Structure 1
């Protein structure tokens, strides 16, 4: 998460599923706690540096918080196999998109065209986003999708937020990463709160998992300048693809719990 602004929940839940043999519904709240705590720490550090667009983060995160409980409610009522297959599909899609984008960057090919101008643009005079109706709707829709997936699958939603901010705003990369962490923290809090109301948080697992995630985020920030880049994105995408295949096999009953 420190290196890409996304990917925490995408790998946290499979780690718990395969490492501790939890169902997706059981692993999701622990993943949300870990991802949310680490993201909150990263967002606070970004706020100190002045690179978090907190108004945009509040809108995206606020809508996400409102939708996350619906995802949690569904997760507690759906069978594990469909949830596992759905998670595998989301993970595979994320891996494909990340690998394609990283390969284009490594080869020096231009990024895919985005709306010109994008719905959300910075005002050169004050350095803040210009709030228009298209901008607000775009950010709200981003929050709705990330919030629903957060509650349903235990992901922070960074794999939705980062591409959306990249495509629909003209924010610099560091600001996109820091703002996405603020959104992930808010959305994860909404999902975690709903999971707590359902009594679905396994604290003996979730608490140490979250502590490890926070320590890893601090370490990742120190390594970001050396490791971040197209090759790292490609490696992350390949790992995600392998995990997606394993989850699909688990969901289809090819490999046992």
Structure 2
């Protein structure tokens, strides 16, 4: 249980530092420590990142850095694809889901490691003074499309999808990094909650003792990560995160 608690704190810190990536690391760590498959580890990782993201969302709302209308719109548009993703996860063999999950980790690691500045296409315009989105047909279309993609990934792989959210929001808008991070946490919380309800309605039962320990320690780690976010250079955070993702993906493939 001590190892499980350490993993929870670590995942919470990663989520707090990056606004993403908690779930993509939590699943392989739970697979190793508990000798689980992807399908067993994913729901526990998802519930931990969802609740920890909810705590980060409250902090972001208090600091007025969350674009909550965009988060709600993206979450609503993710609902149909979440059901599709969960259904596919029951059909596709675990072996192939594990390989797909490792590929996702490696792609995410490559993006963080190279970390070339993302040039915003400014497809979703924001107000110059308030920093909030200007809602029109184009904004609804692009943010809605992001929601559909996010729901599919979350339902299929059981991860929050922050590794998709953060770079995509940077690409399609000119939101500041702190707003993107806070908004990403709210979206992860909402989409994760939808996915959890889908899993529960499908008959999944959580192991209460393991879930309680992992969620509690992830919450503690979240607040530590949010505290450290402005005290560690962003480039250092991204390089370390990319290295971790690469090592875990390679080891997971090796152990298959």
- For normalisation by structure 2, the TM-score amounts to 0.90
Runs of 5+ unmatched residues, structure 2? 1-14
- 2:173 corresponds to: 169
Q: Report matched runs for 1:38-57 at 5 Å.
A: 38-57=52-71
User: RMSD over aligned Cα, in angstroms?
Assistant: 1.4
Match of 1:70 in 2: 84
Q: Count how many residue pairs are aligned between Structure 1 and Structure 2.
A: 241
Q: Of residues 215, 233, 250 in structure 2, which corresponds to 1:245?
A: 250
Q: Find the residue that maps to 1:86 and give its secondary structure.
A: helix
Specify the alignment match of 2:125 in structure 1: 121
Q: Does structure 2 retain, via aligned residues, the 8 Å contact 1:66–1:190?
A: no
What secondary structure does 1:227 align onto?
coil
| Higher mean C-alpha deviation, range 205-214 or range 21-30 | 205-214
User: How much has 1:228 moved relative to structure 2?
Assistant: 4.3
Q: Report deviation, 1:212.
A: 1.3
Residue 10 of structure 2 aligns with which residue? none
The answer on 1:234 being equivalent to 2:239 is yes
**Unmatched segments (≥5 aa) in structure 1:** 105-110
CA distance, structure 2, for counterparts of residue 65 and residue 156 of structure 1: 14
Instruction: Name 2:110's counterpart in structure 1.
Output: 96
Q: Aligned partners of 2:144 and 2:78: how far apart in 1?
A: 8
- Cα distance between partner residues in 2 of 1:86 and 1:50: 36
Please report the TM-score for the alignment, with normalisation by the length of structure 1.
0.89
175-184 or 23-32, which deviates more:
23-32
Q: CA deviation at 1:217?
A: 0.1
SS at match of 1:225: coil
Instruction: Name the CA distance, whole Å, in 2 between partners of 1:227 and 1:154.
Output: 29
Matches within 5 A, 1:177-216: 177-204=181-208, 205-216=210-221
Q: Secondary structure at the match of 2:65?
A: coil
Deviation at 1:125, TM superposition (A): 4.8
Which deviations, in whole Å up to 9, do the C-alpha atoms of 1:67-121 show, x marking residues without a partner? 22221222123221101001001010000011111xx4xxxxxx24332xx1112
Q: Deviations over 1:211-253 (max 9, x none)?
A: 1111100111111122241012101101101111122223xx4
Query: C-alpha separation between the residues in 2 aligned to 1:154 and 1:201?
Result: 15
For residue 199 of structure 1, report the CA deviation from its aligned partner: 2.4
After the TM superposition, list the runs of 4 or more consecutive aligned residues in structure 1 that deviate by more than 6 angstroms.
none
Instruction: Flag the 1:229–1:125 CA change in 2: closer, same or farther, 3 A.
Output: closer
SS at match of 2:25: helix
Classify 1:125/1:237 alpha carbon distance in 2 versus 1 (closer, same or farther; 3 Å).
closer
